[in-house]
Amino acid sequence: MTRRDFLPLLLGAALPRFAWADDTAPEDTPAARARTAWRAFCAAYWNPESHLFNKVKDRPRPPLDFWLTAQVWDCAMDAAEHFNDAEDKRRVTDLFDAFLARHRYWKRNPYNDDICWWTIACTRAYRITHEERFLQRAKRVFDDLSVRESDSQLGGGFWWRSDEHTSKNACVNGPAIITAMELADLTHENRYVTQATELYAWLRKTLFNAETGAVRDNINRRHRVAPMCFTYNQGTFIGAALRLYRQTQQPDYLQDARTAAAFLCKYLAPRGTLRGEGQGDGGAFKGIAVRYLTELARLPENETFAAFLKKNAQTAWDNRRASDGLIGPDWSRRPPDQMAIECQTAASAVVLLILASGLK
């Protein structure tokens, strides 16, 4: 499933019971569940020879896609921070080194959102490891992208693709704002705050409905705004607004984040559970949404969003597959045993379980 032909999928099934290796369940706490889900995920996808995650369980080919590897790397960093395990910490640098050996020249990838996902992840890797190479790569790559792929056409913003400037999308502009604000925090260069502020003003004016909270997908050269709303675009808008709120303390940014989060929880979560958005690219969408929704839920007076995340974590946990502990694209249903659950799809649920376990 590609970005162009993405359509949400809903998959059917029933409730499972996890089969523990020693037939005895550990202490049943959110933290224990998160650790168990992470271990099941690594057992299914981590390739100790390539130091990369396989796209499909027990299959080293085809390799996991460029941008999806960034999402799974973020999940690995969640584990490294939450579980404080030496192996998990090594995996952070091992995965990046292995990826870089395979993808040394990132400009060859025409999807600018893919590049932004890696710059975001590199700023986080720098915070975890304190290795200067991560910060320098994020800064160098993002500065180059800003020069090449943002301009005043259509009022501002980043183009989605470098090989064809046909649309400016939420999927690149939200991450670009997040990257700029992370770099501003790490480098103390105010130009990144200025850049993020301008990008946010464009994104808000062009693709955000301040009344409903909907984040539309893109605007094309004919000035037509695509009406689709996806969980990950809601998530990155929340993340962008929160970073500007923390920088400026202007309440309008916080209100935008809450409005976008309310739309996510009401309209993209049938019966209170974030909808299934298939596999392929869509398999990573919910992991991105819950990552930034969790940031909002940690702030005071956002208990409703914390409760929403905890409910989703409970639902996903209840619907893990008994045979291997993996969770599929639809958190409200157990994936059938014959389903080949892709790595990024399973990772989205692991992100949810890890992050929700830290909520009060």
Place of tokens 């799809």: 345
Rg (CA), the chain: 19
The token pair at 165 is 């400037």
- Give the C-alpha separation, 181 to 197, whole Å: 9
Provide the pLDDT for residue 14.
Answer: 29
Domain ranges in the chain are 30-356
CA 324 to chain centre: 23
- Give the C-alpha separation, 324 to 353, whole Å: 16
Q: C-alpha distances in angstroms, 147 versus 27, 142, 144, 157, 187?
A: 52, 9, 5, 11, 19
Contact 207, 170 (CB under 8 A): yes
Residue 267, sorted as left (phi over 0), alpha (psi -120 to 50) or beta, turns out to be: alpha
Q: State which H helix or E strand residue 55 sits in.
A: strand 52-56
Whole-model pTM: value is 0.92
- Give the C-alpha separation, 193 to 247, whole Å: 8
Alpha helices in the chain (DSSP H): 30-45, 66-83, 86-102, 112-129, 132-149, 170-187, 190-207, 231-248, 251-267, 285-297, 303-318, 343-356
For helices 285-297 and 251-267, the axis angle rounded to 10 degrees is 130
- Give the C-alpha separation, 233 to 208, whole Å: 10
Q: What is the pLDDT along the chain (360 residues), one digit of tens a residue?
A: 444 444 333 222 222 333 333 333 457 999 999 999 999 999 999 999 999 999 999 787 888 999 999 999 999 999 999 999 999 999 999 999 999 999 999 999 999 999 999 999 999 999 999 999 999 999 999 999 999 999 999 999 999 999 999 999 999 999 999 999 999 999 999 999 999 999 999 999 999 999 999 999 999 999 999 999 999 999 999 999 999 999 999 999 999 999 999 999 999 999 999 999 999 999 999 999 999 999 999 999 999 999 999 999 999 999 999 999 999 999 999 999 999 999 999 999 999 999 999 998
Residue 278, sorted as left (phi over 0), alpha (psi -120 to 50) or beta, turns out to be: left
DSSP 8-state assignment for residue 219: E
Provide the pLDDT for residue 60.
Answer: 79
Burial zone of 251 (CB within 10 Å; 0-12 exposed, 13-18 middle, 19+ buried): exposed
- Give the C-alpha separation, 110 to 194, whole Å: 26
Provide the pLDDT for residue 26.
Answer: 55
Contact 142, 178 (CB under 8 A): no
The Cα diameter of the chain in Å comes to 61
- Give the C-alpha separation, 167 to 217, whole Å: 10
Please tell me the CATH code under which domain 30-356 is placed.
1.50.10.20
Q: Is 63 helix (H, G, I), strand (E, B) or coil?
A: strand
